[in-house]
A and B are shown apart, each in its own frame.
With several copies, the nearest count.
Chain A
Amino acid sequence: MKKVKVFITLKESVLDPQGQAVMQSLHNMDYQNVKDVRIGKYIELEMEDSADVAEQVDAICDKLLANTVIENYRYEIEEEVHS
């Protein structure tokens, strides 16, 4: 089994209203030292082993998990340790 961690972030050129709202709240809470907040998605997949896991993950991200018009993605593939 593989554990795949996918990170999806908004492209820099795209305004992030949610991040802005969180930053505003943090400032109101007196965390003035927070200079930027960007909110994205963190997705964990559990996948059966196969030779082309990386290719599959690329395809899954491109097609479904991320909208590449506004988002970037990157991922890490880890060997699952069974308990």
Chain B
Amino acid sequence: MKTAVIVFPGSNCDQDMYYAIKDGLGEEVEYVWHAETSLDGFDAVMIPGGFSYGDYLRSGAIARFAGIMPAVIEAAKAGKPVLGVCNGFQILLEAGLLPGAMLKNKHLKFICETVHLKTENNETLFTSLYKKDEIIRIPIAHGEGNYYCDDETLQGLRDNHQIVFTYDGENPNGSRADIAGIINKAGNVLGMMPHPERAADALLGSDDGLRLFQSILNHWRESAHAAYTS
């Protein structure tokens, strides 16, 4: 599996994502510069965390217009796994690949800590290696992770099982319905505030995030196999 990690000016978790895939998962991975226009040849796309364009104005607002974004949207439409973490999630929202918007944390402060997440939906290509309702430990680090959507959107997310992760215990940022991560209807675009790439090495405190990447790999192997046999 060959994964692209998109690098925007101001991305700062790009290397973390790169090493989680290269060292944690042991798969091929490359950085793709925001000004590129193609993602041909990549099997999965990661939009890492950080402060693209300083997050000046609004998180993710400026990145959405980067040269690479049409290719990201195309990859999403083609059904490739697209994962946006933290700032990556905010970019996916701004780009309209996922519904809703992000507000400042309810306490208005940046917050960095390891939280407990509940796996609401383990029937996605990102979460197949977790158990339903499994509690996992993943770090968060954000100032604007207070997910917002209107009632109708929330109902839609619930009806379609699009809520993948929720915060277990205290909600750190005030997000609606304790949402920590959501997926698109098609099931191949996941946005989440917590950082699975920071939980891919036991030396740093938790490797609960590694199974998310392994799930993607399994999915890829299965679909490659299916393509081969069909």
Contacts and interface: CB of A to CB of B under 8 A. Distances in A.
A14 B108 contact: no
Contact of B56 (A15, A17, A28, A67): A17
B148 interface: yes
A77 interface: no
Interface residues of B, number: 23
A17 B103 contact: yes
Interface residues of A, number: 17
A65 interface: yes
Interface in B174-199: 174
B100 A69 contact: yes
Contacts of A70: 101, 103, 148
A17 B57 contact: no
**B contacts with A: majority SS:** loop
Given A22-B62, A70-B148, A64 B104 contact: no
A55 B54 CA distance: 28
Contacts of B94: 67
Nearest to A67: B101
Contacts of A29: 65
14 contacts: A14-B148, A18-B104, A21-B53, A21-B54, A21-B57, A21-B62, A25-B65, A39-B57, A65-B57, A67-B61, A67-B94, A70-B101, A70-B103, A70-B148
The 4 closest A-B pairs by CB, nearest first: A18-B56, A69-B101, A21-B56, A70-B101
Interface of A: 13-15, 17-18, 21-22, 25, 28-29, 39, 63-65, 67, 69-70
